[in-house]
Amino acid sequence: MTTSFPMNDGNSAYSYYNNSQRQKELIDASKDMVRDAIIGKLDVEVMLSSSHTFRIIELGCSIGPNTFHAMQHVVDVVKEKYHNIILEFQVFFSDHVENDFNTLFRSLPIDRSYYASGVPGSFHGRLFPSRSIHFAHSSCAIHWLSKIPKELLDEKSPTWNKGLIHYGTSNIDVVNAYIAQFEKDMEIFFNARAEEIVPGGMMVFISPFSSYTRLVEFFGSSLMDLVNEGKLDESLVDSFNLPMYFPSPQDMTKVVEKNGCFSIEKMELAYPKSKLVDEIDAKTFIINLRAVLEGLLINHFGSKIAEEVCARTLFKSEEISTWMKANGGKSCQLFVALKRK
Amino acid sequence: MTTSFPMNDGNSAYSYYNNSQRQKELIDASKDMVRDAIIGKLDVEVMLSSSHTFRIIELGCSIGPNTFHAMQHVVDVVKEKYHNIILEFQVFFSDHVENDFNTLFRSLPIDRSYYASGVPGSFHGRLFPSRSIHFAHSSCAIHWLSKIPKELLDEKSPTWNKGLIHYGTSNIDVVNAYIAQFEKDMEIFFNARAEEIVPGGMMVFISPFSSYTRLVEFFGSSLMDLVNEGKLDESLVDSFNLPMYFPSPQDMTKVVEKNGCFSIEKMELAYPKSKLVDEIDAKTFIINLRAVLEGLLINHFGSKIAEEVCARTLFKSEEISTWMKANGGKSCQLFVALKRK
């Protein structure tokens, strides 16, 4: 273990970001030397040979520790299968640029058996060089849409999602707008991954399924409680919609087949036992959802309303417990394994 | 451009970090499915073929914007040389895990022509898979030692650096302790890079040179002012030493040759014009140094003394200007280009 000496962070008055002019001068002054070294000395042809690095990406890694858990599992299984080949592993943790990579990096397991990288950017677009990835994994992430379907923002249309924040109990126009956005997003997603993943490489998704549409609506009903008490304007709730679509096997089959670059190796709905559901621990469940939804609530309603809504939803834990008890069996997930043709 | 929906950051009560048990359950529940997909479907032999990705690492990237500037330059020059080969570029920005990668990622240039990754970890150790890197770059970073030479912490030895915070005007024992630490660190550094860089791959260093030892001592003299005013215990200053060694061409030649894995393609001292020195802008210079040193000062002396020392050093800008005017010509840098044998 060596000690670390970080520069001043952030971008305030005394940050390195705003105070590194001299270091820039050193780089500028060396530009020609760097250039000469590359032009005169580098021979790219001899270098681009194959390696024994197995590259794994986690799309929508968020912060951890789940992502470390998932990645170590993939590494362990590949090692188990190819124990006779000396492989090295490189894992790319990828998420939006606003993800808290600092916390992710600071909590990386010390005993990991892979080289770790962070890759900022949306998976609705290219993130990696062509044919550089052998295995892609994504858990609880592909249900995030790139944006709210634009039809939901038209107050005069049947897709104005009055009194609701998601599509679960909405009319068919709203549901179709969500499906259309999901299909558009997945087309972009698959086109990007088709470039990045080597032929024979694989991709697995784990996605929550439809029971979540009801659970997030408990937050919606807390918002409507505030409307009914005159503390919040209803149009603000009507114009708030969660950018998530939980695909069915049929939805997923359709987008994979439309793209055409991947074969479906496995697709199934699973009904994993949930410790949270078994113990009807609605409080933990709601706090889990708060960690996911709070940023969206703050963006749309401000911190004060967001805090109030989260607190009020927690008060509903008994009602939520009852619902979970009755519907626990329906709490399920979609598992998909694809292979690059 | 897609919108982003980050989870709650940090690790406070409502963070995703502490509230993602359900997501973990989904991953756990899919472990066997992931395993089956890998065991049953993945064929690693057909995948590990060569690619046209040129991989560049920036060692000690810090926060930017300098590192973006340097990396784009390397990419541009490689493109210029190999305009007939379709290459894709992947840049790995690497620094200690405490580096502010969030700010780095959020300020990535939109018009960059490479895929960006962040790699947390000390360059005094392995960071990348074997033979995976084609070009390594490090600017204003390799002079950072992994730690203070331990001999400097012995109060009864001639290496107790009394009244000073660096080796510039110290006795020969202190200087030798710094050199020995530098040599040890570079041996570890070169052994790691020798594994990571492909045969024919290159490494360039840009390192500040010796005039910095005097400049940082202006902070030392501010500390001693506080000692002389009875506001600070001298032994606290004596036990504070900056973990930096500015190598000479001779120092560098010695460590490269001892390692034996790299050939020296170029090594020279350069005397770049400094806008800051030309305009004798000591204030900007001192604030630049503050962004680098403040964390170390806070760690050793606490925030209050660190603030006082930085403020007092700024008051010395006239004296520093005079020194810079007289010694500007000596402000120089070491440039080194190495090739993996």
Token pair recorded at residue B94: 């690497």
Contacts of A144 in chain B (CB under 8 A): 5
Nearest to A44 among B18, B51, B85 (CB): B85
Nearest to B7 among A39, A63, A121 (CB): A63
* CA–CA distance, B221 with B166 (Å, rounded to integer): 11
User: A274 vs B25: CB contact, 8 Å cut-off?
Assistant: yes
What is the structure's pLDDT at A230? 96
What is the structure's pLDDT at B1? 42
Interface residue A172 vs chain B (CB under 8 A): no
ipTM score of the complex?
0.89
Q: Quote the crossing angle between the two packed helices A21-29 and B66-81, to the nearest 10°.
A: 20
Pick among B28, B36, B42 to test the A interface (most A CBs inside 10 A): B42
The whole-angstrom distance between A232's CA and the closest CA on chain B is 23
Q: pLDDT of chain B along its 341 residues, tens only? A: 445 556 666 666 777 667 766 666 666 666 666 666 666 665 655 555 556 888 999 999 988 788 998 899 888 888 888 877 778 999 999 999 989 999 999 999 999 999 999 999 999 999 999 988 888 999 889 999 999 999 999 999 999 999 999 998 899 999 999 999 999 999 999 999 999 998 888 888 888 877 778 888 999 999 999 999 999 999 999 999 999 999 999 999 999 999 999 999 888 887 766 665 555 577 887 888 888 888 899 999 999 999 999 999 999 988 988 888 887 655 578 889 898 99
What is the structure's pLDDT at B304? 96
What is the structure's pLDDT at A146? 93
What is the structure's pLDDT at B287? 85
Q: Where are the domains of chain B?
A: 9-49
Nearest to A50 among B43, B49, B126 (CB): B49
What pLDDT digit, counting tens, does each position of A192-240 carry?
A: 999 999 888 888 888 887 777 888 899 999 999 999 999 999 999 999 9
Contacts of A198 in chain B (CB under 8 A): 47, 49
Kind of pairing, strands A197-208 and B53-59?
unpaired
The residue in chain B having the minimum alpha-carbon distance to the alpha carbon of residue A65 is B17
Nearest to A74 among B5, B34, B206 (CB): B34
Q: Where are the alpha helices (DSSP H) in chain B?
A: 21-41, 66-81, 101-106, 172-196, 211-228, 234-238, 249-259, 275-278, 282-301, 303-315, 317-327
What pLDDT digit, counting tens, does each position of A68-89 carry?
A: 988 998 888 888 888 777 789 9
Q: Where are the alpha helices (DSSP H) in B42-113?
A: 66-81, 101-106
Please report, for residues A65, A170, A173, B81, B152, the alpha-carbon distance to residue B209 in angstroms, rounded to integers and kept in the order given. Answer: 42, 68, 68, 30, 22
Contacts of A313 in chain B (CB under 8 A): none
Please report, for residues A109, A261, A288, B216, the alpha-carbon distance to residue B146 in angstroms, rounded to integers and kept in the order given. Answer: 21, 48, 40, 19
The closest alpha carbon to A189, from A267, A233, A251, A127, belongs to A127
What is the structure's pLDDT at B2? 46
A16-209+243-272+329-340: CATH architecture: 3-Layer(aba) Sandwich (3.40)
| Residue B264 backbone dihedrals phi, psi, to 5 degrees | -85, 115
The closest alpha carbon to A164, from A227, A230, A251, A246, belongs to A227
The residue in chain B having the minimum alpha-carbon distance to the alpha carbon of residue A15 is B291
What is the structure's pLDDT at B80? 85
What is the structure's pLDDT at A22? 65
What is the structure's pLDDT at A2? 46
| CB contact residues (below 8 A), chain A span 185-244, against chain B | 198-202, 204, 206, 208, 243
| CB contact residues (below 8 A), chain A span 293-312, against chain B | 294-296, 310
Strand ranges (E), A100-236: 115-120, 133-139, 197-208
Q: Cis before residue B120, ω within 30 degrees of 0?
A: no
User: A100 vs B20: CB contact, 8 Å cut-off?
Assistant: no
* CA–CA distance, A262 with A200 (Å, rounded to integer): 9
User: B295 vs A8: CB contact, 8 Å cut-off?
Assistant: yes
Pick among B12, B41, B47 to test the A interface (most A CBs inside 10 A): B47
The whole-angstrom distance between B88's CA and the closest CA on chain A is 6
CA angle A27, B93, B91 (to 5 degrees): 90
B227 Cβ contact partners less than 8 Å away, ≥ 6 residues apart: B233, B234, B237
What is the structure's pLDDT at B50? 56
pLDDT band per the 50, 70, 90 thresholds, residue A49: low
What pLDDT digit, counting tens, does each position of A270-326 carry?
A: 776 666 555 557 788 788 888 888 889 999 999 999 999 999 999 998 898 888 888
What is the structure's pLDDT at B24? 67
Total CB pairs under 8 A between chain A and B:
448
What is the structure's pLDDT at A33? 66
